[in-house]
Structure formats: C-alpha cells, structure tokens
Chains A and B, each alone.
Chain A
Amino acid sequence: MSGDILKRIAEPSLQVVGYVVLAVMFLYILTPLVWMFLTAFNPEGGPFLELPKEFTLDNFVMIFTGEPIKGRAGAAHPFYMTRWIQNSFFIASVALLLVVTMASMAAYSLSRLDFPGKSLLMTFILLIGFMPSMAKILPLFKLCLMFGFVDNLFGVAVVIASSILPTQIWILKGFFDSIPRELEEQAWVCGCGRFTTLMRVVLPVAGPGIAVVALLSFLGAWGSFTIPLILIRSEDLYPISLGIASVFIHNPGEIGLAVDYGPLCALSIVYAIPSLAIYYLTRKYLMQVRLGKMEVR
C-alpha cells in the first residue's frame, strides 16, 4: 500500500520535474533564435533581447543593395549579398553533383561486387572520412596550388566534395545493402541488363538514400567555412559564410568595434533559409530513412 502512495506522489512530480527541465532546455535553445529573428526586423536592434518598437525590412534591403541605411552610421564595408549567395549556390550545387554521382557509383560497386582488398578499402575510406579536414589541409593546399584550385570556386567545390564524399559513400552503401538482391535478379529475369537495372530499379528504389546524400552534401558545402577561408582570396568569390565573417570584421557599428546587429541578423536568416527549405522539400525522404534500412517489399 505504502508503495502505491509513493508511486502516486512520485510519478506526477517526476513528470513535473521533467517538463521543467524540458522547458529550460527549450528556452536555452530557442532564445538566440528568437533574438536573431526580432533583431533582423528591428530598426534599432542591439545585443539584447527586446521587442522591436517598429517593424522594418530595412536590414534585408540593406544587405541586398549594399546601401547604408539613412540616419545610421554607414557601413564601412559594402555587402555583396547577391554575389555571396550565387557563390554559395555554385559551390554547394557542384559539390552535390560530384558527391551524388561519385558516391552512388562507388557505393553500388562496394555493395554488390566482391574483390580482393575490399574490406581494407572500405576501412580506408572510413578512416579518411573521419579524419578532420583541417588535419590534411597543408598537403591539400599544396595540391590545390598545383591544380589551380586556389581562388577558384570550382576548386573549392571539389575540395569540399572530397571531404564529404567518404562518409556519404558509407551511408549510400548501407542503402544499397538494404535493397534485396532479388529485386535486381527479378529485373534481370525480366530482361534488363546491368545498366538498365541500375537506372530503372536500383536508383529509383535507393531514391530516399540518394536524396539524403544530396541533402547532406548540399548542406555540408553550404555551411562550409574553413575550406573557402583558406582557398579563397578575392572578395567577390566569397560564399555567404565568408561574407558574414567579413561583415563582422569590417563593419563595426556606432560604438567602437560593436557590431551592427540588424543587418547581420538579416544576413544570418537569409543564410539559413536554403537549408531549411531543402530540409522541408526532402522531409518525405528523410522520414523513410530508418538508420540506413528501408522497407522494401
């Protein structure tokens, strides 16, 4: 009986404690985002969380036109938002294409073919993937100099793709492994050659996996900072990540080195939108991913 009473008291109170913990974590995570959002639309936003007295789109206009806002201390350094977005899109798209084509071919052969040294090769790929890209940046930089990849958007995309590729091969291999061989054999019996089987059966069935790899490589390249930082010198080749950093460095606000928060927050929001949009578009596939296993019947 006493156990029951304890249970009756303890269970609800545990629940309350749980909710309090969750609420605190929720606030902790959400507050900076709320601040960023409010500040972006606030004509007088600062480093404090405050409700704007007026609502404005000036910050967004400013980052796209590069024109300073009237009545505010002018930006010492222009914004090239449109150009940065173009650069980022270029890098991310090229990286995506490279990773998807190469990872799907590599993963398919690793999944279906048997050859000597296969497990060694797989371990090697994994090790390279786990190695932080900064650890190999010196030889990589040398290599980039040789190939003319320095200060070259395509070169940056290739380097980023190469750093993303190994893990994506592993992810896709998991997907191909989960496609029953019988599906392919069925296709062969129906008259498909290897290539037709790949195009008409394997790739469509692996669709969700490929979508996931595409999403991850796009986001990886879109968010990449250090590789462009090292490889890009001209300001008109900056992707957004470098652009935001340059604003920090070059655009002090009114008081000394304080940052002009309004445009920066607007910048950050614009930077985040493609990632969110892509997530939204591919969420259907993401939901089908069950840790690399698909339900195929």
Chain B
Amino acid sequence: MVEVRLEEVTKRFGNVLAVDRITLKVRDKEFIVLLGPSGCGKTTTLRLIAGLEKVTSGRIYFGDKLVDDGETTYVTPQRRNVSMVFQSYALFPHMNVFENIAFPARIKKLPKEEIKKRVNELAELLKIKDLLDRKPHELSGGQQQRVALARALMIEPSVLLLDEPLANLDAKLRVYMRAELKRLQREFKCTTIYVTHDQVEAMSMADRIVVMNQGRIQQVGTPDDLYNRPANLFVAGFIGSPPMNLLDCTVDGREFLNFGAFKIKMPEDWIAVTQGVGEAIYGIRPQDIKVYKERREGAIEFVVYVTEPLGDRIVLTLVKDDLWIKALAPPEFTVEMGDKVWILFNFEKAHLFDKRSEKLLI
C-alpha cells in the first residue's frame, strides 16, 4: 500500500507522443480511475506505473522510492510489487484456476500451506470455489475475470492496476461487477489505479477521476467535480450521458448570449465574467433544460425532431433552424415528432467555455 507519484512523465513511441508531461499523485488506499477515449494514453500510463514501459522523461515514485526516471533508475516490474489485471485477463491457459491464482505466491516461494489457505479464502470471497480444478478456457468471461482478480489479490500488492477489466463482460454482469470491485477495493484497502473509457464506470467507482485526452491530463477531481465543474470543453462533453449540449454562441452587447437562432438574457453574475469575451460555447446538460408544451414567458420555441423513450424518462432531440439540442423530459410528457415545444435553460447549472482556449469561463 503506497502512494504513487508521477512527475512530468512523458512517453514517446518513435514519433508518437503517447503520454505528455503528466503529473499526478495517487494517494495511499485511493481508488483512482484513468478515464479517456481510446488512444488517450491511459493504458500507457498504467503500463508505465507497472514498469512494462520505461518513461522517456519524468519520474515515477512509489512512496519515497524512485522507480523510474528514464535515465539511471529503472525498477523492473518483477520488483515493483504491483498486481495487474489485463483487459484480456491473461490467465495462463495451461494451468487450472487454483494454479493461476497461486502463481504469484509460488514465484515468491511462499509456504505451500499458506498458499492453499489464501487461494481458498480468495475463491470463497470471489465465489469461484467450485471452479478451482477447471482450466481457463472452460470458464465464462465473468468467471475468468474473477480468477484474474483473485490472482491480482493473491499477494498484497503495493498498487493494484486494472486495465479495462470489465470491458469484455456483458452489460448486466458489468453493472454487478462494478459494485463488487468497489466493495473489494474498500475491503482490501489497496491503492488502485483503474483504466476505462466508460464514464459511467468511472463515475460510479472512483474516489477521484483523471480525465485524459491526447496524452494529457484534462482534469483531476471527484466524480462530483467533473460532473458539475468540468474544467474544459473536453471534460464537459465526455462526462455525462446523454452528453452535455455544447452550443456555439457570441456575447452580444452587455447582457445577451446570441445563438444565431435566438438570444437569451444572461443573469447578473454572468455579465461580469463575460465582458470582453467574443465567441464562446454554452454548455448545458439535457436534464437542466425545462421543456413545456405551451408558450411561456422567456421560453424559446423548438420543434421536436425525435423522441427516445427510456422508460423512466424521454430523451428529446429538438431543433430550431440549424441548432440541435437534447433535453430530458418525464415519461408522461407525450409529444410527437414535429410538435412545437418551449424550453427554458437553467442558468444555475449551465457553463460557458471560451471558444479558443476551450477553458471553463463560468
């Protein structure tokens, strides 16, 4: 159980810059999730921490110990005392489940009795007790995943590294394992770094989330931070489902936002911040848009383009001229395609981003 620190870590593969000057501190016993689209450098970051790749420049510390500085110091994965679960689980096909789980302990030459006891405990905990004699190819995806997890927990690792461990499971199992994993992490109290591209997974499990894009950290924060205070346009668009509406607009005069198709008057606290800003992007989540069937003071008229009922709510795609937005409505809100609706934006929950720097203004 240690704290992991990355300082200005950069990794290049030939001309490709995979990880670009990342600085990050993972606290002891923390569950941190690296989140980003494919190719954003999150898996490379994980492999750098595991020692499967060497940094091009920068430093990685486990506690106070320098493990990689790209020059003189490089501690091999064998000696970092990490555990890793790969996306493919990487179970050894020639060993049965028992031997797979016992493998790290066998390599570390722990006493046989102890190994047996520990494997049985873990198998009990992960509900794979009946499978110990089977070979990996005789297991379902979910079972394989649990075996891989048991193997990772066999020795007490300094850091537990998980690379998209739920990606190969079906939707129902994924939701179940999400909760299981979170419970296990709390139980074992190990520092955990978890890589995923699924923002729901990240939001539901993490203590803190690191959003990455194009090799860089976009924002580090709690799920609440990322959802309610996205640092930039990328985070705003990436977190939340259905995603935030991001609308081009200009600050018009002193107190209006001009969307082309319509204008809205800004509240007082916005006016102070937006002075001197020209082009901007207005971000509002679908659930922060109120939709009415009747005309109403200050509301803007839109036409229903398509409705997607999800049972507990309806996702509406609305259009005005060439402006498209998504809004949420309660299930009893029945409209047909082509109907007129009137919408109000909740400015309390809305954000404004600078168009050029893509940074959050308000």
Does the CB pair A190–B88 fall under 8 Å? no
A180 with B88: in contact, given A191-B78, A295-B137 (CB under 8 Å)? yes
- Complex: chain B residue closest to A295, CB-CB: B137
B150 in the interface, Cβ–Cβ < 8 Å?
no
Does the CB pair A185–B86 fall under 8 Å? yes
Q: Which B residues touch A191, using CB under 8 A?
A: 78, 104, 107-108
Does the CB pair A207–B94 fall under 8 Å? yes
A297 with B136: in contact, given A185-B77, A205-B94 (CB under 8 Å)? yes
B45 in the interface, Cβ–Cβ < 8 Å?
no
A54 in the interface, Cβ–Cβ < 8 Å?
no
How far is it, in angstroms, between the C-alpha of A126 and the C-alpha of B104 when the chains are bound?
39
A183 in the interface, Cβ–Cβ < 8 Å?
yes
A196 in the interface, Cβ–Cβ < 8 Å?
yes
B267 in the interface, Cβ–Cβ < 8 Å?
no
User: Which of A183, A186, A296 has the largest number of chain B CB atoms within 10 A?
Assistant: A186
A204 with B50: in contact, given A185-B77, A192-B107 (CB under 8 Å)? no
What is the minimal beta-carbon distance from B275 to any residue of chain A, in angstroms?
54
A185 with B52: in contact, given A201-B92, A205-B93, A295-B137 (CB under 8 Å)? yes
**Secondary structure call for the A interface:** helix
B91 in the interface, Cβ–Cβ < 8 Å?
yes
Enumerate A172-194 residues with CB–CB distance to B below 8 Å: 180, 182-183, 185-193
A183 with B108: in contact, given A188-B76, A189-B50, A193-B78 (CB under 8 Å)? no
Q: Which B residues touch A193, using CB under 8 A?
A: 78
Q: Within the complex, which residue of B90, B91, B104, B144 is in contact with A185, where a contact is CB–CB below 8 Å?
A: B90
What is the minimal beta-carbon distance from A104 to any residue of chain B, in angstroms?
16
Q: Mark B105-148, 1 if CB is under 8 A from A, else 0.
A: 00110000000000000000000000000001100000010000
Enumerate B287-342 residues with CB–CB distance to A below 8 Å: none
**Secondary structure call for the B interface:** mixed
Number of B residues with CB within 8 Å of any CB on chain A = 24
Q: Mark A205-228, 1 if CB is under 8 A from B, else 0.
A: 101000000000000000000000
How far is it, in angstroms, between the C-alpha of A201 and the C-alpha of B99 when the chains are bound?
12
A296 with B93: in contact, given A180-B88, A190-B107, A192-B107 (CB under 8 Å)? yes
Q: Which B residues touch A180, using CB under 8 A?
A: 88, 90
Does the CB pair B86–A186 fall under 8 Å? yes
Does the CB pair B82–A189 fall under 8 Å? yes
A297 with B89: in contact, given A186-B84, A189-B82 (CB under 8 Å)? yes
A188 with B93: in contact, given A182-B86, A196-B107, A297-B137 (CB under 8 Å)? no
Q: Which B residues touch A189, using CB under 8 A?
A: 50, 52, 77-78, 82-84
Q: Which B residues touch A185, using CB under 8 A?
A: 50, 52, 77, 84, 86, 90
- Complex: chain B residue closest to A179, CB-CB: B93
A192 with B78: in contact, given A205-B93, A207-B94, A296-B93 (CB under 8 Å)? yes
Q: Mark B134-169, 1 if CB is under 8 A from A, else 0.
A: 001100000010000001000000000000000000
Q: Which B residues touch A207, using CB under 8 A?
A: 94
